[in-house]
Structures are given as structure tokens and as C-alpha cells.
Structure 1
């Protein structure tokens, strides 16, 4: 009786898994991977910040104030207590005043015990164009008094708000990895697909080119190509040039993955049947072979984005990539090159933390996606 009940209990689950689509099985396997889900949430948040950085940034990232040079971060408080012991929910920060040490003459910021800067959500602030198209003046968080500034993540050596610059840098750094991987994906699919499907001499030539590029030392190659860019180019031109450089370096790894999958699939029964049915190479590749490896391609792309992100950050940090007035995490990290500056304003190292979080999140998500790419194998464990 117990055996009969066991069969009747598990049979519907197995039938549902057998009839589910590949995408649903992958998502089901991915949900069991806690680190991958956490990484995916972080990645979504980062791209949300990149998409709406003008709205999330409280101020213009290029607006400098001499009175706020190396202004320290201010803690955000939500509960405000009055003199009578009552309280209310009022977001605010403690104001800080600039003082000078009598012995060293060094300037420091000290909390102003009596003055508070009240903040409001979705208030009107500096005007901007969302995606350079839609004129708006609403920000996520603004000061109730426009004459008073607040610095949740501090200010840099020119008195510019680090939070605003970090939000705008997220757009450039995260998008250059996405665009670069997109170009690498096209090159990898075309050359890797031709290599794996045609084989023979064509496969040998393409693989020798792949091995040649992969044998080159990566960092010196980045530095050499980055240094070859004219310094008088506009920020937009340098942005696309860096993207192309990173793409030309990053495609061989993806091409090898695609070639390996094509070599495994071209002897499968459904591929042979498609060829015998009169299907040409283009139809066999795009209608039969490509759909069966979409999940593996997505996983490979997800794992390739961190490499692009680190490459851009390293080039910009060394002054060979993006340059001001373009704002990226690598450009922001140039502010942290000076040891004395870091001792005075350690919050300028925050872009490095952002890079670390982004790389870890993308790697966790990519690893989980790669493990979930074969849901039938997952269910057999």
C-alpha cells in the first residue's frame, strides 16, 4: 500500500518536469542555487542604477564646490527627535561645519550638533535629461532646502558628490561590459560555429588564430592597445574604441565554447535528419543547432562580462582607457591613486568595492546559470 502511494505521489511531479519547457526547467534549477539568485538580484539592481542614474543621483556629478572638498560621508537618519521627547519620521542628515586645527592648520569637518538637513523623496532638484531624451527635475532624494547640500558618500577633491558620480559611473562601466560581450558574442558565434560545423582546414585555420590571440599576454596587450588611442579623441569615441578593443580580445574563449558544442551536436540524430531532409547549413545551424545551446551561450556570456568590466576598470585606472569628463568606475578610482588622498578621504575607494560586488554577483549568477543549463542532469542527481 505504501509503495502504491509513493508512486502516485511522485508520478505527477516527474510528468510535469518531463512536459515542461527548457526555459522553465532552467529557471526551476536556478532557483535552487541560492548564491546564483542573490547574484542575479544584485545584477538587476546594478543595471537598474545604470538605467536610471540621473534620477538616482541627487546632484549633477560634475558640479564642484570649493567649500565641500573632501567632505566626509553623512549618515542618513529617518527618525527625528524634538526637544520635548517626541519623534517623527523625517529623513535627515547632520550638518557638518569646516574647522581648522590651530596647531597643524589642517581643515577638518566636524558635526554641527544643532543643525540638521532635512531630505525628501521624489522631490525637485537639478534639471537633467533622462537618457539624453526626457527633461526631468525629479530625484529619488533631495534636500528640502536647495541651498544646503548633503553627501551620503562624501565628496572628492573638487567637492563633487561621490554618490552622484558613482551612480553615473555604473552606467558606463556596466554597459561597456555588456556591449563588449555583445560584439564578442557575434564574433564567437560566427567563427566558432563555422569552425565546429565545417571542420577540416577551415577549423584548423580558425583554431590557430584563436590560439594565437589567447597566447598573447593579456595585460600588456590591453596596455599597448589602450595607449595607441589618440588622447584628443572625444569621450564617446574613446568609449566605443575601448569596447571594440575588449571585444577583439574576448571573443576566442566564446568561439571555443561554441565550436565544442557544434562538434558534439553535428553527429546528433536530429541534425543528421535535418541534413537528410534537405536543410541547408544556414537552416540546420539557426533552426536546429543554435536553439539547443542557447542556455550554454547565455551562461558563457554572463561569465565573460566580469572580465570586460575588470579590463575597462584597469585601463581607465592606469590612464589608458576612458578619461574625464567621462565617468566610469575606473576613472573614479584614479582619485584613489594617491596615498595621502586615501588617508584623508578613504571613501574615494568605494568604486573598487562596487567593482568587486559586480564581479562577484556576475560570477555567482553565471555559475548558477551554467549549472542550470542542463536541468535534466540536475534532476537525475
Structure 2
């Protein structure tokens, strides 16, 4: 039996190969490139990353995107249900608009009943002048992406008990809830990397003391510990100081898992030849940890960060929902959900639960992103 013939192309090498193919052929692909090529195959993680990037860019211009100021009240539209955006009126194209409303009081349940006035067409305005605001508390402005018609209303997700637009408050709350996750993770990572790195590199009595402290902290139930830490903050602190305090508390309570992961990695890496060579050349311990050991599992740290931020967001939401976290006038998703703590409110005004939707979506997106990063980084660290 004769062996099959092999075909060898006589065509010259095409220099216009894809960048990935060129790097793989030449062997010059970096670790970050390998992780990126693997990560972009994970469609769900890639879509989650794009969504999170868009949301974090949105909170930079939330004053412009929100139709109303976070504190604007409309006493004539208390507990108003969401308005439906329409394009056609009586078969004719009008563009984005909402119908005006009439309100009547149900004398049996004392509930406000709103009904659309089909004769009152209120076209929405875009790139318009509306409620005044102070952009990032630095620059005064009044330009919005979308505004209600003049002398009209536009409540996309309804209003609360004070007549404030729920959609606008969700957008403002995103800035607080999402940044508290980033700041909390920064605090947690600094503590986890420093303490865990020193414990794994030095070992001995320091490692033993750190492990005992971690075991004690991890044995305490998280919610009672949150409550105790939040309760010690004075009631007369300003909302901004409370915000920083909650961020610091979440970071203090979440460093233990990362510290153990860093310690286990350093225990395995500190015996490598390049670490011994750095020690023999006189490099100090902080330099060896920062320049030689941590980069060896940086991809693992990135994946851990994306899985830690959802816990921070949930922690802030839980504390604020229980009334022990952020307080009005700060608007976070947890503060907004305090409006829906009673069964009667949920039954009569279910749109007050809308702030829970972005919490669920963002946490799922972070988890999908973390899974994708972990799967992409696993083969290469």
C-alpha cells in the first residue's frame, strides 16, 4: 500500500497574513495577545464586557442622559406609572411621543389612577434645555439628551412617592453603586496583595499569624459583620463621608479570599530559579514580589477582580436597603430599593422595583466577564 502524496504549495509566502497568524508563526505572541484571542471567542463574556464598558462610560455623562435632575419633584404626578413611548398617532407618524395624563383618586383604595389622554400628544425633545444641574458638581448646565414636551411630562419608568422620576434616579444611582464596587475592590486588592504576598513570600510566624486572622474573619457571618461595621459610623456624618466609609468597610471585609489566593501562588513561585537569581543579585523582597512574582499570575488577579466587584455592589445594596448604608440625598440602587420595602407598595406600585433590574444585569455581566477572563487566562498562567 503506497503512502498518500503530500501536497506542497509552490506559491510565495503571503505577507498579508492575519496578525494572529503572523505572531503565532514567528512565536512573538505575548501573553496578553494570547489571552485576548482566547477571550474574544467567548461571545457572552465579550458582550458582557462591551455592556459594562458602555455603562461605565454612561455614568460619566449621567446628568446629560437623565431627563430630570435627581432631586426634581412633580407633586402632581406622585406614584405615576411608566409612560409608553409611541411613534404613531391615529395612523400618522409623529415621532417619539407620549400621551398626556389625567388623574383621578379611587375613593375605595385611595390610590391615584392615571389614564392616558389620547387627545394630548406630547412629542419628546432631544438635545434640549431642561432641568438645571451641576455636572460632576463642577460646571453648571441644563442640556439633556431627551426632555418632555414643554409643560408636559415624560416618566419612562414612573415616579416614586415624592413625584421623582425613577428612570433618572436609576441613572444617577448607577454612578454611586458602580463606583463603590471599583473603590472597594481597589481597597481589597491592595490589602490582599500586600498581606497575602508578604505571608506567602516570608512564611514563618508572619504567615501563621495572617492565616489565623483570616480564619477568624471568614468565620464571622458577613451580614451581621456588615451591620456592626456600618452601625459604628456616626449619624451626623455627611453623605459623602458615609459613601467613603461604606467603600472602606466593603474593602476591609473582602480581602481575605484574595490574600489566600496570592499566598498560595507565591508559595509555589518563590522557589523558581528566577526568584533565587533576583535574591542573589540583592533585590529586596518588595521588588521581587512586585516585579517578578505578581506579574506571573496577573491574569488571575484580573479575573478575580471582575468576580469581586459584584459582591461589593450587592454589599452596598444590602446595607442601603436595610437602612444602614448610604442615606438620602445620595441616590444609589440600594437607596432606591428602600422605597419598595413593604408589600403594599410592591402590590400597588410595582415599578418601584425597577432599580433591582440593573443590579441583576450588572452582576450577571460581571460574572460572565469573569468566567471569560478566567477561561482565557487559565491555559497561559
Q: What are the Cα deviations for residues 321-365 of structure 1, in whole angstroms up to 9, with x where unaligned? A: 111111111110010011111111101001111111111111111
What is residue 84 of structure 2 aligned with on the other side?
Answer: 75
Q: Contact 1:324/1:331 (CA < 8 Å) preserved in 2?
A: yes
Following the alignment from structure 1 to structure 2, what is the Cα–Cα distance between the partners of residues 43 and 224?
A: 32
- Of 48, 51, 55, 1:46 maps to 55
Q: Contact 2:176/2:332 (CA < 8 Å) preserved in 1?
A: yes
Matched, 1:95 2:100: yes
What is residue 221 of structure 1 aligned with on the other side?
Answer: 225
Deviation at 1:3, TM superposition (A): 6.7
What is residue 73 of structure 2 aligned with on the other side?
Answer: 64
- CA separation of 1:97/1:258 partners in 2, compared to 1, >3 Å: closer, same or farther? same
Q: Contact 1:318/1:334 (CA < 8 Å) preserved in 2?
A: yes
Q: Which has the higher helix share?
A: 1
- CA separation of 1:207/1:63 partners in 2, compared to 1, >3 Å: closer, same or farther? same
- Of 227, 237, 253, 2:257 maps to 253
Matched, 1:354 2:363: no
What is residue 129 of structure 2 aligned with on the other side?
Answer: 124
Secondary structure, in 3 states, of the residue corresponding to 2:27? helix
Deviation at 1:274, TM superposition (A): 2.1
What is residue 135 of structure 1 aligned with on the other side?
Answer: 140
What is residue 155 of structure 2 aligned with on the other side?
Answer: 151
TM-score by length of 2: 0.91
Q: What are the Cα deviations for residues 61-111 of structure 1, in whole angstroms up to 9, with x where unaligned? A: 21222210111101122x334x6x5435x2111222112346656430011
Deviation at 1:159, TM superposition (A): 0.6
Deviation at 1:283, TM superposition (A): 2.4
Deviates more, 1:129-138 or 1:313-322: 129-138
Q: Contact 2:35/2:380 (CA < 8 Å) preserved in 1?
A: no
Q: Provide structure 1 residue ranges, at least 5 long, that are not aligned to the other structure.
A: none
- CA separation of 1:137/1:245 partners in 2, compared to 1, >3 Å: closer, same or farther? same
Secondary structure, in 3 states, of the residue corresponding to 1:65? coil
- Of 371, 374, 379, 1:370 maps to 374
Q: Provide structure 2 residue ranges, at least 5 long, that are not aligned to the other structure.
A: none
Following the alignment from structure 1 to structure 2, what is the Cα–Cα distance between the partners of residues 356 and 95?
A: 32
RMSD, aligned CA = 2.2
What is residue 210 of structure 1 aligned with on the other side?
Answer: 214
- Of 285, 290, 308, 2:289 maps to 285
Q: Contact 1:29/1:375 (CA < 8 Å) preserved in 2?
A: no
Secondary structure, in 3 states, of the residue corresponding to 1:129? strand
Q: Contact 2:23/2:29 (CA < 8 Å) preserved in 1?
A: no
Q: Contact 2:191/2:259 (CA < 8 Å) preserved in 1?
A: yes
Following the alignment from structure 2 to structure 1, what is the Cα–Cα distance between the partners of residues 314 and 256?
A: 18
